[in-house]
A and B are shown apart, each in its own frame.
Chain A
Amino acid sequence: MPDVQSMVLEFVNKLRKRKIEGSQATARCTVELLRSVISHHRVPHANQASALIDAVKAVGGQLVAANPVELAVGNVVRRVLHIIREEDLSLATAAVAGLDLLDASDDDEDVNGKGIGYPAMSAAVVAAAARSTLRPPSLQTLLEGTPESATVPYTSSSGADSESKTADKSSITRKLKHDVIEGVNQLIHEIAGCHEQIAEQAVEHIHQNEVILTLGSSRTVLEFLCAAKEKKRSFRVFVAEGAPRYQGHLLAKELVARGLQTTVITDSAVFAMISRVNMVIIGAHAVMANGGVIGPVGVNMAALAAKKHAVPFVVLAGSHKLCPLYPHNPEVLLNELRSPSELLDFGEFSDCLDFGSGSGSPLLQVVNPTFDYVPPSLVSLFITDTGGHNPSYMYRLIADYYSADDLVM
């Protein structure tokens, strides 16, 4: 499968060179890549699930190493692993004799079919997968520590599962791969649609004449605000410009184009203005398991100011941004320093940046971080595609999406 290998390499290169911006785009690309990895992977007859898991893990490891700061990659890889495990589990628990109408040619079509589009065909499978995704781990599985084992009581499964116990080996193989791809397609769908899911909740949180502060440029925030605007709420938005990348200007431009009252302020004026703001809404880069948020640089300042003035600090995050890791010193370790040229003109200060003079180290250092970490204590509310949550609940929400075996990759 040289084509898959080259696709992986190409994507790794893109990640290394930071060509892909934004966690949503990264997540989308990652999951699509993983889908083709899975579909091209030749599954052995025995123990196919673990073979698939190994393949995905190998690719996932490369991707994560390429850009460890982009947590969405790791999240998506873990989600896919979780899907494989769940599908395997549900197949093992239920022998699906009646559903073996699928054949190999179908499988091959799936690979190229970008569509998310045949849920009707295997509605039962999807339902089972969904159920198993949402099902809390039973005490027994926790005790035995083997999620793959077929110890889930039959009664908890649907009636269709329990009726047949004998399954053709080859059909199970194809079935697993098919189901996994099905699940991955669903994940793609979910990532693509998280904006709408989040935006739907906008009206519940924004009232008339509200003043909202936001910073950075997040598509989710844009959709969220516009959704409220479409529901005829009239409110005003302050946008911090987000130096040195000035993403705020882009956001402001979009907002104005959609007819929202927008005021661009400097980042330094955040504290001055926060006392007249009713709510701070930001889009997260990643949400950690402890409820901490990694967001665009400057977010921590805004969160502190909001806390000081008792202004609700709301974080919007699609489920692909939920990271199952607990951060340690995230403002440094999960950060990325960008080029100093965004801050200082090299031409003007080139003499000061000279390593050759004096002690050999330059007198001047320029620090230009990309991200900022907001501790959970400063966050009032998370709005994800499944609804609003407290920071203290995030670990639980995250447990639904990932299996504990995949946390360390």
Chain B
Amino acid sequence: MDPRRGPLAVPKVRRVGFFTSIEPSPETPRPNRSLSGPAEAITSSSPLSDSPSGQFISPVQIPPSRHHSDNLASRAAPVPVPGPSAFRRQLANDRTLHVGSYNPVDSLLGTSPPSSNGEVSEDSGSLFGFQRSDSAKLSASFPNGGFDMTVAVRAPGESEAKVATASTSDGRKKNVEASGESESVATKPRKEKETRSLKEKTSKAERRAIQEAQRAAKAAAKGEGSKRAGESSRPKPSKPAKQPQPKKEAPQVTSSVSEKRAVSVEKERRMDVPQTQMQYDDKSRVDKAKRRSVVEQTESKNKVELFLHLPQYERGNQLPNLSSNIFTLDTIHHAVYKVGLQHLAGDIAGDNARCIAMLHAFQEAINDYTTPPMKDLTMDLTAKINGYVSFLIECRPLSMSMGNAIRFLKNQIRKLPVDLSEPEAKASLCSEIGRFIDEKILLADKVIVQHAVTKIRDGEVLLTYGFSCVVEMILLYAHEIGRKFRVVIVDSRPNLEGQKLLRRLVTRGLDCTYTHINAVSYIMGEVTRVFLGASSIFSNGTLYSKVGTACVAMVANAFSVPVIVCCEAYKFHERVLLDSICSNELGDPDAIANVPLRNNKKHSKTMDNNKNLQFLNLMYDSTPAEYISMIVTDYGMIPPTSIPVIVREYRREDLLL
């Protein structure tokens, strides 16, 4: 992670690891979204309006029907602070139709074939060649016929012939050609946009002048293509043709980018990471934070000494007060407030769900935002967001993925061009947030499912731990395409999330075995693969996930069972972590004290005031990289040693620039 090595960064669209599927990378973007801005515009953008790179991810894959407003938003933030059951019910409804936790309609099979159909029908003549290359690429990405249906739907004979020959580089070249083709097809206004974005691109290029210069001339064409791909993921839509001048970081944008500057930028970026963890053993800081805080947490009486650096609160008792003053509060937007309370109450659990809920709340807050007179939008909005973030941290410490999302948002705000009117800026931000959710989370999940399902063969016994929505999607999808396998669900106290997964899988007809984490070494003998979800993966390959994951991975390792971790790339973090103590989150100690036993239910209660007895409810633990066989992410299937590669080189354009 030496920042000085930054400028040597290699072309952006290289894929790492093994991969089986279509999209070169999910971050390659559905390009050009229309100016109108808000999230709806993105999702409903018609296939026609797609720019070249649209072929990678066909636009229909994010179908209009899945709408933030009607679907995700309502799920993530139902109107009254909803019980978990409401949340679950909604999901269950979704699932009756489709695979996947988030969004049904984007279940792989459901979407991709129609998408190609749609394109053919709408602009069949002009786009035919382009379409063909697309399908060739697609089918090439299913080497072992894993996705027979997909291939069947879209494969004319010749595309299948291409499968054999087409290497990835081939495919990429084709993309470039195809992009040219489709550009010519594009309508006038689109063309304009294209040129605009090109200009903007050059500014970006300046920013990375050194990198660009170092690129070989022969890579130029490729670089161009990839750059476009990378660039189009950025907020081009509402940008004017002029050079954007983010004011906060003017020095960066100036044409001469020295290495030194790159270092300083990177450092600044690091500072910029929202501090997910305050050191709670620092008295003065804690006091300061308390004075500011909205949420009054009662500190737990018996603190665990080893974890004094983490907040140790009793949960849940302050909720009534907080929910009553939701309308009287003016410093914090009500949407954010609601999400905060949901986090506090544990109604939203799971990293993706929490992150999506938070982003939607921010979207809403930005929509309702008006710049106070005499103030600057960029500065003021950043300050506002900071306030929201610290409120959310008070409610529950942020997960690493939420930190990444917040960093993304702040960068977007910082990058807003000066001469953008307020409504335009807001619209642009909202659409960027929407795009982040779509691409980095929802689409990434689909790509992961596609990759991971190739690792499931007939007759296997798959073990999973707790509840991970990606793993659930993988299992359901594998079941849907007819794989015969058995699932072992390992669960642990106090949350027993595995029961949720168990119920969902069993109702869908999967063969399940349920057990608790202590029995994992009993059951591991019959398991052939372990699928795990992740909360974050650090750049030393350490997996940071729900507590117990490390135990499962360790036992699997002892039994020589491969451990496959499924994690969206937006959750990768450039921090490093060695143990589970330094950075963690403590849950409610009462959850452990209350034992569901008939005879001695009371025993812990009576001991409550004994200062010798503590209950430690760890939420996360870190799994050393050596236990992980493979990480399935939206960039492909990689070993844990490749995490820093992704963090540094592939996500640079999202998070760092």
The answer to whether B304 and A372 touch across the interface, beta carbons within 8 angstroms, is no
Q: Which of B514, B516, B615 contacts A365 (CB 8 A)?
A: B514
The answer to whether A243 and B523 touch across the interface, beta carbons within 8 angstroms, is no
The answer to whether A367 and B519 touch across the interface, beta carbons within 8 angstroms, is yes
B502: chain A residues at CB < 8 Å are 349, 352, 364
The answer to whether A364 and B514 touch across the interface, beta carbons within 8 angstroms, is yes
Interface positions of B from 488 to 534, Cβ below 8 Å from A = 491-494, 499, 502-503, 506-507, 509-523, 525
The answer to whether A265 and B618 touch across the interface, beta carbons within 8 angstroms, is yes
The answer to whether B555 and A343 touch across the interface, beta carbons within 8 angstroms, is no
The answer to whether A367 and B517 touch across the interface, beta carbons within 8 angstroms, is no
Q: How far is the CB of B18 from chain A (nearest CB, A)?
A: 28
For the A-B complex, the count of residue pairs with Cβ-Cβ distances under 8 Å equals 181
Q: Of all chain A residues, which has the CB nearest B619?
A: A269
Q: Is A192 an interface residue (CB 8 A)?
A: no
Q: How far is the CB of B538 from chain A (nearest CB, A)?
A: 15
Q: With A266-B492, A276-B581, A304-B554 known to touch, is A297 a contact of B547 (CB < 8 Å)?
A: no
Q: How far is the CB of A187 from chain B (nearest CB, A)?
A: 33
The answer to whether B621 and A297 touch across the interface, beta carbons within 8 angstroms, is no
The interface-forming segment of B46-54, B257-265, B366-374, B595-603 is B595-603
Q: Which of A246, A262, A269, A372 contacts B521 (CB 8 A)?
A: A372
Q: Of all chain B residues, which has the CB nearest A297?
A: B518
The interface-forming segment of B1-9, B202-210, B425-433, B604-612 is B604-612
> How many residues belonging to A are interface residues under a CB distance threshold of 8 Å?
52
CA distance A126 to B493 in the complex (A): 52
CA distance A358 to B511 in the complex (A): 11
Q: How far is the CB of B475 from chain A (nearest CB, A)?
A: 13
B518: chain A residues at CB < 8 Å are 242-243, 267, 297-298, 301, 372
The answer to whether A249 and B522 touch across the interface, beta carbons within 8 angstroms, is no
**Complex interface bits, A260-298 against B, C-beta within 8 A gives 1, otherwise 0:** 111111111111110110000000000000000000011
Q: Which of B493, B610, B622 contacts A256 (CB 8 A)?
A: B610
The answer to whether A272 and B520 touch across the interface, beta carbons within 8 angstroms, is no
The answer to whether A250 and B512 touch across the interface, beta carbons within 8 angstroms, is no
Q: Is A200 an interface residue (CB 8 A)?
A: no
Q: How far is the CB of A221 from chain B (nearest CB, A)?
A: 17
The answer to whether A262 and B613 touch across the interface, beta carbons within 8 angstroms, is yes
Q: Which of B492, B512, B520, B614 contacts A264 (CB 8 A)?
A: B614
CA distance A275 to B499 in the complex (A): 30
Q: Is B592 an interface residue (CB 8 A)?
A: yes
**Complex interface bits, A318-345 against B, C-beta within 8 A gives 1, otherwise 0:** 0000000000000110010000000110
The answer to whether A249 and B520 touch across the interface, beta carbons within 8 angstroms, is no
Q: How far is the CB of A209 from chain B (nearest CB, A)?
A: 11
Q: Is B306 an interface residue (CB 8 A)?
A: yes
Q: Which of B515, B517, B614, B615 contacts A267 (CB 8 A)?
A: B517
CA distance A361 to B523 in the complex (A): 19
Q: Is B278 an interface residue (CB 8 A)?
A: no
**Complex interface bits, B634-657 against A, C-beta within 8 A gives 1, otherwise 0:** 000000000000000000000000
Q: Which of B492, B521, B607 contacts A300 (CB 8 A)?
A: B521
Q: Which of B519, B579, B592, B622 has the most CB of A within 10 A?
A: B519
Q: Which of A262, A272, A300 has the most CB of B within 10 A?
A: A272
CA distance A110 to B517 in the complex (A): 50
The answer to whether A243 and B516 touch across the interface, beta carbons within 8 angstroms, is yes
Q: Of all chain B residues, which has the CB nearest A305?
A: B554
Q: Is A80 an interface residue (CB 8 A)?
A: no
B618: chain A residues at CB < 8 Å are 265-266, 268-269, 272-273
The answer to whether B621 and A271 touch across the interface, beta carbons within 8 angstroms, is yes
Q: With A262-B613, A272-B547, A301-B520 known to touch, is A343 a contact of B581 (CB < 8 Å)?
A: no
Q: Of all chain A residues, which has the CB nearest B507?
A: A352
The 10 closest A-B pairs by CB, nearest first: A268-B548, A298-B518, A272-B580, A272-B621, A268-B492, A300-B521, A271-B550, A367-B515, A352-B506, A256-B613
Q: List 6 A-B contacts (CB under 8 A).
A: A243-B493, A262-B613, A264-B615, A273-B616, A298-B517, A367-B523
Residues of A bordering B, CB below 8 Å: 238, 241-244, 246, 249-250, 252-253, 256, 259-273, 275-276, 297-298, 300-301, 304-305, 308, 331-332, 335, 343-344, 348-349, 352, 358, 363-369, 372
Known: A243-B517, A246-B600. 6 other contacts (CB 8 A): A241-B595, A243-B518, A266-B592, A348-B499, A364-B502, A372-B522
